[in-house]
């Protein structure tokens, strides 16, 4: 099976994400309203082709113990993700974006996946610069159809280049060039909103 497959946008993705987030929210219900729940990634941008994997994010004041999170999420089907390689990007920590603080603690994360329902759950601190970045990037693409189209074309090209790969890692790393190229424009847009 090809590692990086990009498919046409599926209008059911937002509803699937909302349903999954409801389950995750229920798992953390005892924590009250202290967490922020987001549908992120390309499946959160209407009309954008994507890998058919729903990306979700929970931002919380501090990261709980991995075993505690795994126990709480067990009824949802989300299990800890370990990455395909020891250096798989974004599994245990995010990579700081240019100009963001570099304190390691801000980028530590927990990653879960539900292979049965093709979903990934990123758990980050509320003050995670990368947690803010993925939401800003999503909103910027939603507001900028020209850049969303460019991003889609790049993703399709990269998916073809990495079609025979056994994992998504090199595809994921290669997309960073677009993030870096558009970072200034995206940040300027974010300051105006």
Q: Is residue 1 domain-resident?
A: no
Write down the pLDDT at residue 1. 36
Taking the C-alpha atoms of residue 132 and residue 117, their distance in angstroms, rounded to an integer, is 25
CATH number for the domain that contains residue 75: 3.30.460.10
What is the DSSP annotation of 106-135? GGB-EEEEETTTTEEEEEEETT-HHHHHHH
* pLDDT tens digit sequence for 64-122: 999 999 999 999 999 999 876 556 657 889 999 999 999 999 999 999 999 999 999 99
Range(s) of the domain holding residue 99: 13-191
* pLDDT tens digit sequence for 18-30: 999 999 999 999 9
Q: Is residue 2 domain-resident?
A: no
* pLDDT tens digit sequence for 136-179: 999 999 999 999 999 999 999 988 888 777 666 677 777 888 99
Q: Is residue 5 domain-resident?
A: no
Q: Is residue 4 domain-resident?
A: no
Q: Is residue 8 domain-resident?
A: no
- What is the count of structural domains for the chain? 1
Q: Is residue 40 domain-resident?
A: yes
Q: Is residue 176 domain-resident?
A: yes
Q: Is residue 146 domain-resident?
A: yes
């Amino acid at each position: 099976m090809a590692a990086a497959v990009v498919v046409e946008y599926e209008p059911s993705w937002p509803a699937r994400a909302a349903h999954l987030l409801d389950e995750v929210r229920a798992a953390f219900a005892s924590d009250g309203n202290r967490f922020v729940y987001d549908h992120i990634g390309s499946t959160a941008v209407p009309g954008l082709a994507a890998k058919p994997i729903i990306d979700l994010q929970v931002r919380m004041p501090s990261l709980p113990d991995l075993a505690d999170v795994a126990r709480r999420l067990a009824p949802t089907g989300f299990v800890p993700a370990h990455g395909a390689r020891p250096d798989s990007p974004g599994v245990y920590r995010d990579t700081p974006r240019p100009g963001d603080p570099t304190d390691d603690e801000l980028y530590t994360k927990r990653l879960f996946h539900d292979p049965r329902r093709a979903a990934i759950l990123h758990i980050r601190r509320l003050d995670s610069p990368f947690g803010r970045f993925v939401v800003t990037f999503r909103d910027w693409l939603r507001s900028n159809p020209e850049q969303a189209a460019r991003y889609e074309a790049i993703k399709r090209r990269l998916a073809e280049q990495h079609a025979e790969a056994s994992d998504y890692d090199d595809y994921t790393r290669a997309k960073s060039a677009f993030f870096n190229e558009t970072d200034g424009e995206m940040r300027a847009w974010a300051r105006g909103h």
